[in-house]
């Protein structure tokens, strides 16, 4: 997914495990009371039902994997939307 600098995915959680791979750019991820800096080449595994927030501090491209797959997305149900800071 292409994410613009300043894009924010507010604190949220879901029943799916999430694996995020940053291929370009930089994001700050807050989860479990800690802040993580993700840059190109880094991967993060977010366990199911774990609250997390992404803030893109640069234009970013990431690849997300979910297990099980996101049925809400398959069904076309809107999920958390990015906002700008």
- SS3 for 33? coil
pLDDT at 30: 97
User: Could you state, in chain order, the average pLDDT of each consecutive group of 10 residues for the chain (85 residues)?
Assistant: 90 95 98 96 97 97 94 80 64
Give the integer Cα–Cα distance in Å for 12 and 39.
21
CA distance 42 to 75: 30
Burial of residue 60 (number of CB atoms within 10 Å: 0-12, 13-18, 19+): buried
Q: Which domains are present in the chain?
A: 2-84 (2.60.120.10)
In this predicted structure, what is the pLDDT of residue 82? 61
């Amino acid at each position: 997914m292409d994410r613009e600098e300043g894009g924010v995915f507010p604190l949220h959680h879901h029943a799916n495990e999430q694996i995020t791979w940053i291929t370009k750019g930089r994001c700050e991820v807050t989860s479990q009371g800690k802040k993580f800096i993700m840059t190109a080449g880094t991967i993060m595994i977010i366990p199911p039902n774990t609250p997390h927030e992404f803030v893109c501090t640069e234009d970013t491209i990431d690849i997300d994997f979910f297990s099980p797959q996101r049925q809400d997305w398959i069904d076309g149900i809107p999920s958390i939307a990015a906002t700008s800071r």
